[in-house]
Structure 1
Amino acid sequence: MTDESSTGRPPACPSCGRPAAVPASAHYTSEGTVSYARCECGRWLIVLAGQVIGADAA
């Protein structure tokens, strides 16, 4: 299950623009659910409350 932003679409990878993949792991925090997902382009994405907040260096 991928978190979705207020637009109803899954967050997109900042490199390739594809929707974030199914999370490899997800954890509940006081700021919302944080999840880690690998995009089809190979980058790891950090998603917090439906927003991509970070990605590994490509």
Structure 2
Amino acid sequence: MTDEISAGHRPACPSCGRATAVPASAHYTSEGTVSYARCECGRWLIVLAGRVIGADAA
């Protein structure tokens, strides 16, 4: 299975709408790759299999 981030698609930040930054950390799970990325607006994003599933409260 190829995750969207590794295929070149970067999901948008739910706060500012910009494409997420390059992941700071990535881990493989049974549901796909989970990664943590910092957006240019300063929020930390949790991305699972190419979709933003969480963000800090900023």
Q: TM-score, normalised by structure 1?
A: 0.86
**Over 2 Å off, 4+ runs:** none
Number of matched residues?
Answer: 55
CA RMSD, 1 decimal: 1.9
- Aligned match of 2:38: 38
Gaps of 5+ in 1: none
Task: State how far apart, in whole Å, the 2-side matches of 1:48 and 1:32 are.
Answer: 6
- Aligned match of 1:15: 15
- Aligned match of 2:57: 57
Gaps of 5+ in 2: none
